[in-house]
Structure 1
Amino acid sequence: MSTKQKINSQIFQDSNDIFYPKDEIEVSDLVKDFYKKNSSIELTGTNSKNFIGNKTQAANKVSLSKLSGIIEYLPEELYIKVKACTPMKEIEEALDKNNQELAFEPLDFGYIKDGKANKGTIGGYLSCNYAGSRRFKVGSVRDHVLGFRGVNGKGDIIKSGGTVVKNVTGYDLSKLISGAFGTLVALTEITLKVLPKKQLSNTIVIKVDDRKKIYDLFDKIASSSSEITGAVFLPDEPDDGMFVKNKETIFKFNDLNFTGSYLALRLEGDKVSINEKTKKITKELDLNKFKIAILDNYQSSPFWKKINNLELFQNTKNNLLRIVIEPANGSEMMSYLGNKFKYYIDWCGSLFWVEVPPKKNNKVSEIKKKSIELGGYMTIVKTSEEYDYEETIFTVEPVRLMISEKIKKSFDPKRIFNPGKMYRGI
């Protein structure tokens, strides 16, 4: 059956020549047809994260946005099964009714793209594999995927995993497709692990003027038994006029009674456990030597929501870099950045979000080189309109690129899915 015949048999195609399959079978039929024709496909969902990665040069566009809805949710079994383009908002609302959540804290890229909330779909989160502040304690998005269904580059329907954590069948396959930006599989269904929400959240904000102390504090936090679930450093913003200074406005809370650079720690649990953890961490970090503020649940929850919404970079026109690095080398990266850029450090010292204005475009390559020297990697999450440097969006070593090519060949032998989205030629 030709593509034209498929359109006539209910696969909707709009005026922009975008195909909208309504179920897994139609996705499979489309891919089989394009596979036979050696014709490439740009896979999309609701486009909330389509600005991340290289622009694809595909002959066809297939939107999976009609594959939406909760298939099965068993709160007592701690899992939810959904179609790949189910809005994250719909999933979170369903979980919230049962006092449950996705522990990896989904980021909201809507703020840096359009200046407003738009979490997009669960498929987009799996494709990017970007987790929020709790990442250093609970793992990334891929660690919460129990199973999936999808269509490979030949049009075959594939499935992996199950509905319980102890069933590790296919776990590695789930990990492979996570962070692949739609270059391996057209996702149709995802099963996720869910967890009970913590009853309360408190945040200790520590004023730290001497940046040399930051990583000493991060080290102590990482080794603490106080179960800290968030640790972020927010430095002063540069005064050179190339950045929007909004930190004091965004993080304006009644009990946050100081400005400047500070480190924030999150404690979660019931009231008794939070009080015990607060006493313990106060002693471990010797917090009596610092000026501190304590945000109660009504202030703590929005504080971390703003962090995970990337609101500091709301509607930015600058380049936005995401750097992941070993905490042991984080202090050197922080010193390298100095006060020349607007940034903050999350994941207890492992994750840097760095804003680079167009006038400093040449610094993007330098920062990437430095991150590699320190054993990390960098992704250009958003580029400015003036960005014209020939720099790869993703960091990849030759050996990893070779592995990626082999994985790509096994899933998508003719390389028809999202060509060039991550790396040239893949």
Structure 2
Amino acid sequence: MSIFQPKSEDEIVEAVQWALGANAPVEVVGQGSKRGLGRPLQTEHTIALSDYAGVTLYEPHELVLSAKAGTPVAELEALLAASRQAFQFEPMDYGPLLGQPAGQGTLGGLLATNLCGPRRLKAGSARDHVLGVRVVSGRGELFKSGGRVVKNVTGYDLSKGMANSWGTLGIATEITFKVLPAPETESTLVIRGLADDEAARAMAIATGSSGEVASAAHLPGNVAARVIDGALGGEASTLLRLEGFAPSVADRMTMLKNLLASAGEMADVSGDQSRRLWQEIRDVIPFADGTEQLVWRVSMVPMEACKLVASLRMGAAVDAYYDWQGGLVWLRMEGEPEADAVRALLRKYGGGHATLVRGPASVRAAVPVFEPQAAPLAALSKRLKQQFDPSGILNPGRMVAGV
């Protein structure tokens, strides 16, 4: 088994050209923090970008940052924080959920898996903030898309196409992102004791109001007990995050409390504790238990999510919590329920996407880890793979068997 650790863009091109010439499929990784995601690969060779790191451009006044693909996201976030800026899509860290240390994810992996966090409803995901990218395709050719300015309309936006490609189309070598000022202050309204369906209604009212809610989540009691060192207690907690200038946050907090006065007992969580709370929700810390117990990530119609969870609980032991106003459901399941059963219920309750994000390699090899695509979309994906990686040497089968 060979591990290539290129230190320059030219060496990345050479590694891909070698793999192409030898017809040798390769696994592409940064520091390997997301290896447990997707279908397990059967490759003898690896291209690891951990040595290809560093910031190539940062202009705080222009709100632009460029860095090499192997640069740790944690380092970039620290750099941005020093200028009171941030990635507004607050990329999650899969490391703890997958039994890896926190802070190991790289910029290339961030784009390849299209990361985001609880601010998704307001700020979007990685693909909504990428400005440009340099990529080595599976043909061993270097190309670039986009640029280093916020307004960029030249040609097809292939930089967004690299998002959520999981390293199957090409190897991003340098990526440029738009960055934005970090919120001056934040505070979270906690409504206690709501059932899942009641919480869904309360979150819908709040996000539909003029309160400018940045994030909305609901933690059932057993999950609420496992965040911020149990500070929420063991009672179900519906969470509404407000951000911005302090006077505005205070006014909007008062407005939400009046709007939802009949919902139940309320409390505030502010400052660093609020930030930590949403980080733990983002990184699925309640389910980061060091096991390979199955964890599903389900995106669906928000008001139907509690019905899906209730139906699943009729046949299996299920822990769940809701982010994105209920549009994102994190499920931890006892045993190994059939993926077809999960997806059948998903179709029953309005459709969406169910992704198996944690499980033993044997399970991930046996079931469709990602939501199966409809035939026309699957054909389009296959043609796209053929254009960028006709020999199928980059992360083969990571997303779909045989592709």
TM band (smaller chain): over 0.9
CA, structure 1 residues 125+54, in 2 after alignment: closer, same or farther (shift >3 Å)?
same
Contact kept in structure 2, 1:146 and 1:171, CA below 8 Å: no
Within the alignment, does 1:406 sit opposite 2:391 as a pair?
no
The residue that corresponds to 1:381 in the other structure is: 357
The residue that corresponds to 1:7 in the other structure is: none
> CA separation in 1, counterparts of 2:311 and 2:386?
39
One-letter amino acid of the counterpart of residue 270, structure 2: D
Q: SS state of the match for residue 247, structure 2?
A: helix
Q: Give the RMSD, CA atoms, in angstroms.
A: 2.0
Structure 2, unaligned stretches of length 5 or more? none
> CA separation in 1, counterparts of 2:67 and 2:263?
49
Count of aligned residue pairs for this structure pair: 398
One-letter amino acid of the counterpart of residue 93, structure 1: A
Matches within 5 A, 1:65-214: 65-114=50-99, 116-169=101-154, 172-214=157-199
One-letter amino acid of the counterpart of residue 73, structure 1: Y
2:341 to 356, 362, 366: 366
2:227 to 250, 258, 278: 250
Matches within 5 A, 1:24-35: 24-35=9-20
The residue that corresponds to 1:259 in the other structure is: 234
CA, structure 1 residues 384+153, in 2 after alignment: closer, same or farther (shift >3 Å)?
closer
Within the alignment, does 1:268 sit opposite 2:253 as a pair?
no
The residue that corresponds to 1:5 in the other structure is: none
The alpha carbon displacement at 1:168 in A equals 3.2
1:391 to 367, 371, 377: 367
Contact kept in structure 2, 1:111 and 1:118, CA below 8 Å: no
Structure 1, unaligned stretches of length 5 or more? 1-15, 238-245
TM-score (norm 1): 0.88
Contact kept in structure 2, 1:24 and 1:150, CA below 8 Å: no
1:189-228 deviation per Cα after TM superposition (whole angstroms, max 9, x unaligned): 0001100000111000111333321221222133222111
Q: SS state of the match for residue 398, structure 2?
A: coil
The alpha carbon displacement at 1:89 in A equals 1.2
> CA separation in 2, counterparts of 1:225 and 1:292?
19
Q: SS state of the match for residue 183, structure 2?
A: coil
Identity across the alignment (%): 33
Range with bigger deviation, 54-63 or 375-384: 54-63
The alpha carbon displacement at 1:122 in A equals 1.0
Within the alignment, does 1:351 sit opposite 2:328 as a pair?
yes
The residue that corresponds to 1:11 in the other structure is: none
Matches within 5 A, 1:180-329: 180-237=165-222, 247-252=224-229, 256=232, 259-284=234-259, 286-314=260-288, 315-329=290-304
Contact kept in structure 2, 1:200 and 1:269, CA below 8 Å: yes
The residue that corresponds to 1:18 in the other structure is: 3
The alpha carbon displacement at 1:170 in A equals 5.4
CA, structure 1 residues 249+36, in 2 after alignment: closer, same or farther (shift >3 Å)?
closer
Contact kept in structure 1, 2:194 and 2:264, CA below 8 Å: no
The alpha carbon displacement at 1:328 in A equals 4.3
CA, structure 1 residues 264+56, in 2 after alignment: closer, same or farther (shift >3 Å)?
same
> CA separation in 2, counterparts of 1:331 and 1:343?
9
Q: SS state of the match for residue 322, structure 2?
A: strand
TM-score (norm 2): 0.93
The alpha carbon displacement at 1:326 in A equals 2.3
CA, structure 1 residues 388+148, in 2 after alignment: closer, same or farther (shift >3 Å)?
closer
CA, structure 1 residues 290+170, in 2 after alignment: closer, same or farther (shift >3 Å)?
farther
Within the alignment, does 1:41 sit opposite 2:26 as a pair?
yes
> CA separation in 1, counterparts of 2:239 and 2:138?
45
> CA separation in 1, counterparts of 2:186 and 2:30?
33
> CA separation in 2, counterparts of 1:404 and 1:153?
15
CA, structure 1 residues 252+178, in 2 after alignment: closer, same or farther (shift >3 Å)?
same
CA, structure 1 residues 185+386, in 2 after alignment: closer, same or farther (shift >3 Å)?
closer
One-letter amino acid of the counterpart of residue 149, structure 1: R
Q: SS state of the match for residue 149, structure 1?
A: strand
CA, structure 1 residues 345+327, in 2 after alignment: closer, same or farther (shift >3 Å)?
same
Q: SS state of the match for residue 228, structure 1?
A: coil
